[in-house]
Amino acid sequence: MKRSIKQRHFLGIIVVFLLLGECLFGQCPGPAPCTPGAFNNGYEQIDPSSIVGAVFCSGQTRTFTIHVGPGTTTQAATGDIEYITLFFDFDCDGVFEYSVNDSCSYVNPGGCNVDLSVVAPTVASATMYNGRAHLVYNTPTTDPCANLPGSTPWGDIIDFTITVNLPPEPVLTSNDLDNTICDGDSVTFTATDGDEYEFYVNGISAQGQSATATFTTTTLNNGDEVTVRALDNANGCDTFSSGITTTVLNPTILTEPDSQTIFTGDTVTFSTVINDVDTYQWQVSTNGGSSYSNISNGAGYSGATTANLTISNAEIDKTNYLYRVQASSSLVSCPLVTSVAALLTVRVRSVITNRRITYRVNKN
């Protein structure tokens, strides 16, 4: 048996009140909100599946895509502007003090969608809050407790609840305690407090969402930041962890020591520029490069453990000696870097003297 418009309108109001009664059970403490005003959703109505039973995460923002569809008896005309206003009682005092609204242009047939972003309150435990949605033709409503505007209050009102859950609190750790590695080293990051995880490097997904709580990589560059998004599938929340920034050392010789030619008694300096190192050791070969020995300061040498080796008052016996430097970092055990060998040539200075020769001539 078909029901009249008035009968269906009355039944719609009864359903709304039943929803409201159900929503109030287990709500946060405080008085119940005011009853909804008069409305007639004959021409357009809110699709309840787009808002009822929404889940939020503490302190986070969620965007509702609310569908406006045909009414109970007919359908709005193409081009009609439909306003959706969402009201929330986030301080549990029975008053809808938080609201957002926007509109869409109706398309007949089908309807239109309104996207509304709502910032959830911060909670210490999972909490349910009251919400109310108003759909009105051409103008938003500001009073969640009044009748919808117009002599015939065309539009729709739906009471619903949202549940605000606690999001995960992921902790991200690395198997490298000081987060300083050598270029190409393998590092494993481990996350906690989620059902699934997605790992990011510099904000770009590096390992897709899965139940795997670890991420291993050998391709980090200096200054790269690794973060993880932890998901709690039971309550629909996710959270990003704090980031871990890794220092990646790649010792590289930028300037090799040059071969030098000097005279006996001169002072000469061999120099190098090497990045990502702080430890130097100069070495000398006296047999054409067959073997090298470490140099210590003294006996004409200084700067043996710096980037600049100085040889003072060089003697001829050092000619054809080869000098090289080995460098490393004290922060992490990267492979030693060894410079090319620089040749020292020592020459004897030429001494030119003036001679005076005296000849004696015999007159006899």
Residues 346, 262 contacting (CB under 8 angstroms): yes
Q: How far apart are CA 176 and CA 191, in angstroms?
A: 14
> Taking residues 151-165, what's their average pLDDT?
91
What pLDDT sits at residue 106? 96
pTM of the model: 0.68
Per DSSP, the residues of 285-327 read ESSTTS--EE--SBTTEE-TTSSEEEE-S--GGGTTEEEEEEE
Buried b (16+ CB within 10 A) or exposed e, 111-147: bbbbebebebbebeeebebbbbbbbbbeebbeebeee
For residue 354, the model assigns a pLDDT of 56
For residue 109, say if its preceding peptide bond is cis, omega within 30 degrees of 0: yes
Strand, helix or coil at 59?
A: coil
| Total residue length of the chain | 364
pLDDT digits (tens, 9 = 90+) for 305-321: 999 999 999 999 999 99
168-216: per-residue pLDDT in tens? 999 999 999 999 999 999 999 999 999 999 999 999 999 999 999 999 9
Q: What is the pLDDT of residue 55?
A: 83
